[in-house]
Amino acid sequence: MKIKIIVLILCCTSLGAHAADLKAILSFPDKFNEQAVEIEGELIGELLKSTDGFWANILSDGLGIGFFTENKTIFDKVSYWGAYQIQGDTVLASGTFYKDCLVHGETDIHLQRLEVIKPGNVEVVSVLPFKRKLAKIFGIICLTLLAIYLIKLLVIRFKHGKRT
């Protein structure tokens, strides 16, 4: 019975959720305050601990926001968190948006459901050929100038030595 009620609440929450992009939510925070919202985005960084639960940051359309949850198992299916050379899992996160969360004192979303809709992957950034060429060219220029400078120094010292 208890499980059925929870499922019913979850269904109602997701049915009533505003499927809006993060920019729209943050542009009109009063409109979405304490409303159920659904955001699609990339998980970035790592799962962070706090005294009362866990935090995940989601990047959506170049903007980030923190999702708070007390339930760590919600992230069990997550395999990649976005970072350099890592495309994090794309998730659909639903929860309640708080413009000024009274508990955490920030703009956040209290997470209720998280669904991985596209797994992330490791993206190795290869070195572009022009960079290798440029490094060689500047390396040669640098060494040539260094040689000229050292010769110039030696000449000056030699002249100075001759004078004294």
Binding site for another protein (CB under 8 A): 23, 26-27, 29, 44-50, 54-55, 57, 59, 62-66, 68, 82-86, 100-108, 125-128, 131-132, 134-135, 138-139, 141-142, 145-146, 148-149, 152
- CA dist., res. 10 & res. 114, Å (int): 12
**Closer CB to another protein, residue 104 or residue 113?**
104
Q: How far is the CB of 103 from another protein (least distance, A)?
A: 7
Nearest to 10 by CA among 75, 95, 78, 92: 95
Shortest distance (Å) from residue 93 CB to another protein: 15
Rounded Cα distance, 104 and 26, in Å: 17
Nearest approach in angstroms of CB 33 to another protein is: 11
Give the closest residue to 125 by CA, choosing from 85, 80, 82, 81: 85
Which residue, 44 or 116, has its beta carbon nearer to another protein? 44
Report the C-alpha gap between 118 and 80 in whole angstroms: 10
Decide whether 9 or 142 has the Cβ nearer to another protein. Answer: 142
Q: Which residue has the tokens 């050929």?
A: 129
| Tokens (6 digits) for 75 | 């992230």
105 vs 161, beta carbon nearer another protein: 105
Backbone angles phi, psi at 99, to 5 degrees: -65, -45
Q: Provide, rounded to whole angstroms, the least separation between the CB of residue 115 and another protein.
A: 21
